[in-house]
């Protein structure tokens, strides 16, 4: 302000000098005078505030007190972020040094093993060891088991592996339509068992050796896998399957939890409705002939939701809970007590969910936002953390056997990322190849959690 006043005094003297001499005021003097008057207008002596014009041509006022307050808030945020960040690399103890300390008695055995695993974690690469593409399910095979003269398979909507070892089964849901191109009128659930045939594998290997470079796109069953239908198929009348998951209720009965969407024409207009269905699958149950047990009300539950759209569902066997991901919240329901409560999703669509084994924590994948971790034991403020860079995760899986602290996610761009909860600021490993453009087809991890299968 002092500079402005001094410049004003100088301009006034120049104007008086030229006016006395009878000369006209030059254009430069006039522009400078107008500019100073404009500065003086933007200063209010009553409020003791100065105004500045931003790059977006907006006028923002500030005082000395405002500047000090903003500076303190910025320093506080930087101090908090510095405590939470993991950009500073931890000092790693070499393996030889760790064993040397162990031999001298400076460290115990458990501490040495922990140091070795920490070194592996900090030096893990971002590229997987191996990626192999294989055509497992052929369209002709599915057409043979699920199609008829009036029904045709349009695509796979869900695929998961249930069980392990020789008892493993492949559960899938396929969209069914008529002979037209883009028709979808219903869906079918089916279970398959996989078998290995060495003769088929040898024949496929011989055929592959005969192929030339131009025929490299031809799919061959080099693994010798054969899939046989196990049990009866289950028909779903609604054609649009939103989400689906396996729900083991107890040791004898395993159900399927799925969400469908449909639209109806009413007097008020078009009404959209989401149906949540818990239904037993005979092929997954221990006793296939026990119809009375499977038909009990506890295993056959159906809800209809009209107030809000449902984007995802999840099941927890330990506490028999169902999680429904909605537009701006998530709803947790207890099947036994029929009680429910709502948790925050930061006003984002919950497109995927995954419970921890104990059922106290739940991961939620949000549309256009990172995966968040919520603690269901809290009465409020359930969100306890997030995974940075996990934007729009459509599938979440916690590795419960090999690395319980690691989480595997898949996003809309077809990228698979592995996170460690102890270092949630970045992914440990990421790779692409999951083609999922038409249906919501999840990934699958084997029983030993060494391989990831993405269709």
The sign of the torsion formed by the CA atoms of 374, 378, 381, 385 equals: negative
Q: Is residue 416 part of a domain?
A: no
**Range of the structural domain that residue 7 is part of:** 2-66
The whole-number pLDDT of residue 47 equals: 47
First-to-last alpha carbon distance for the chain, in angstroms, is: 68
Q: What is the pLDDT of residue 86?
A: 43
DSSP assignment letter at 423:
B
User: Does a structural domain hold residue 32?
Assistant: yes
Residue 268: the pLDDT is 77
Is 190:144 a contact under the CB 8 Å cutoff? no
Q: Which helix (H) or strand (E) holds 278?
A: strand 269-280
**Strand arrangement of the beta sheet that strand 301-305 belongs to:** 240-248, 254-266, 269-280, 301-305
Which residues have CB under 8 Å from 329's CB, separation 6+? 342, 343, 344, 345, 350
Q: Tell me, what's the pLDDT at 333?
A: 92
Per-residue confidence in pLDDT tens, the chain, 455 aa: 455 455 555 555 665 565 555 545 555 555 565 555 555 444 444 444 554 444 444 445 556 777 788 788 888 777 666 554 444 445 567 778 888 888 888 888 888 887 777 776 666 555 555 454 555 555 555 656 666 656 778 777 888 888 777 778 888 888 888 767 767 788 888 888 888 888 888 888 788 777 655 455 566 777 777 888 888 888 888 878 889 999 998 888 889 999 998 887 777 777 788 999 998 888 888 776 667 777 888 888 898 888 788 999 999 989 899 999 999 999 999 988 889 999 999 999 999 999 998 889 999 999 999 999 999 998 888 899 899 989 889 889 998 887 888 999 988 887 889 999 888 888 888 887 666 666 567 777 877 787 787 76
CA 243 – CA 311 distance, rounded (Å): 7
Number of domains in the chain: 2
Is residue 389 included in any domain, yes or no?
no
Query: Please, what is the Cα angle at 277 between 434 and 265, to 5 degrees?
Result: 95
pLDDT at 46 (0 to 100): 44
| Within a domain: 106 | yes
User: What count of Cα atoms within 13 Å lies in the side-chain half-sphere of residue 258?
Assistant: 27
Whether 254 maps to a domain, the answer reads: no
pLDDT (0 to 100) of residue 314: 95
Domain stops at, among 66, 86, 113: 66
Q: Residue 316: inside a domain, yes or no?
A: no
Residues 6+ apart with CB under 8 A from 59: 42, 51, 52, 53
The b-or-e profile of 335-346 (16+ CB within 10 A means b, else e) is beeeeeeebbbe
Question: Which pLDDT score is estimated for 345?
Answer: 92
In whole angstroms, what is the distance from residue 39 CA to residue 51 CA?
A: 9
At residue 362, φ and ψ (nearest 5 deg) are: -145, 135
In a domain, 286, yes or no: no
* CA dist., res. 428 & res. 211, Å (int): 38
């Amino acid at each position: 302000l002092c500079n402005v006043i001094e410049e004003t005094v100088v301009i006034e003297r120049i104007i008086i000098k030229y006016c006395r001499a009878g000369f006209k005021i030059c254009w430069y003097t006039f522009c400078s005078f107008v500019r100073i008057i404009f500065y003086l207008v933007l200063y209010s002596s009553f409020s003791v505030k100065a105004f500045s014009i931003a790059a977006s041509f907006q006028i923002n006022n500030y005082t000395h007190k405002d500047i000090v307050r903003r500076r303190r808030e910025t320093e506080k945020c930087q101090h908090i972020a510095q405590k939470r960040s993991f950009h500073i690399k931890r000092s790693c103890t070499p393996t030889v040094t760790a064993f040397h300390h162990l031999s001298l008695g400076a460290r115990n055995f458990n501490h040495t093993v922990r140091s070795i695993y920490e070194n592996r974690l900090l030096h893990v690469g971002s590229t997987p060891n191996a990626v192999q593409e294989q055509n497992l399910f052929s369209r002709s095979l599915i057409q043979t088991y699920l199609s008829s003269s009036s029904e045709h398979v349009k695509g796979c909507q869900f695929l998961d592996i249930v069980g392990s070892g020789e008892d493993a089964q492949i559960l899938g849901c396929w969209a069914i339509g008529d002979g037209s191109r883009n028709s979808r009128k219903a869906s079918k659930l089916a279970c398959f068992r996989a078998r290995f045939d060495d003769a088929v594998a040898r024949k496929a290997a011989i055929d592959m050796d005969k192929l030339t470079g131009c025929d490299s796109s031809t799919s061959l069953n080099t693994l010798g896998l054969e899939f046989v239908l196990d049990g009866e198929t289950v028909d779903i009348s609604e054609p649009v399957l939103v989400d689906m998951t396996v729900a083991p209720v107890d040791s004898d009965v395993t159900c399927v939890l799925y969400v469908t969407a449909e639209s109806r024409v009413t007097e008020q207009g078009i009404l959209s409705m989401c149906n949540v269905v818990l239904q037993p699958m005979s092929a997954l149950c221990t006793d296939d002939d026990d119809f009375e047990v499977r038909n009990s009300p506890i295993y056959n539950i159906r809800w209809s939701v009209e107030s809000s759209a449902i984007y995802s569902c999840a099941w927890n066997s330990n506490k028999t809970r169902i999680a429904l991901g909605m537009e701006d919240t998530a709803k947790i329901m207890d099947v036994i007590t029929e009680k429910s409560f709502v948790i925050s999703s930061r006003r984002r669509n919950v497109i995927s969910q995954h419970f921890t084994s104990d059922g106290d924590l739940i991961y939620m994948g949000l549309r256009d936002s990172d995966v968040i971790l919520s603690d269901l034991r809290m009465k409020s403020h359930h969100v306890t953390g997030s995974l940075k860079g996990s934007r729009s995760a459509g599938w979440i899986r916690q590795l419960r056997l090999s690395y319980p602290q690691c989480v595997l996610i898949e996003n809309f761009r077809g990228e698979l990322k592995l996170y460690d909860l102890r270092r949630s600021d970045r992914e440990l490993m990421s790779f692409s190849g999951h083609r999922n453009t038409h249906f919501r087809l999840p990934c699958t991890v084997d029983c030993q959690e060494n391989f990831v299968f993405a269709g």
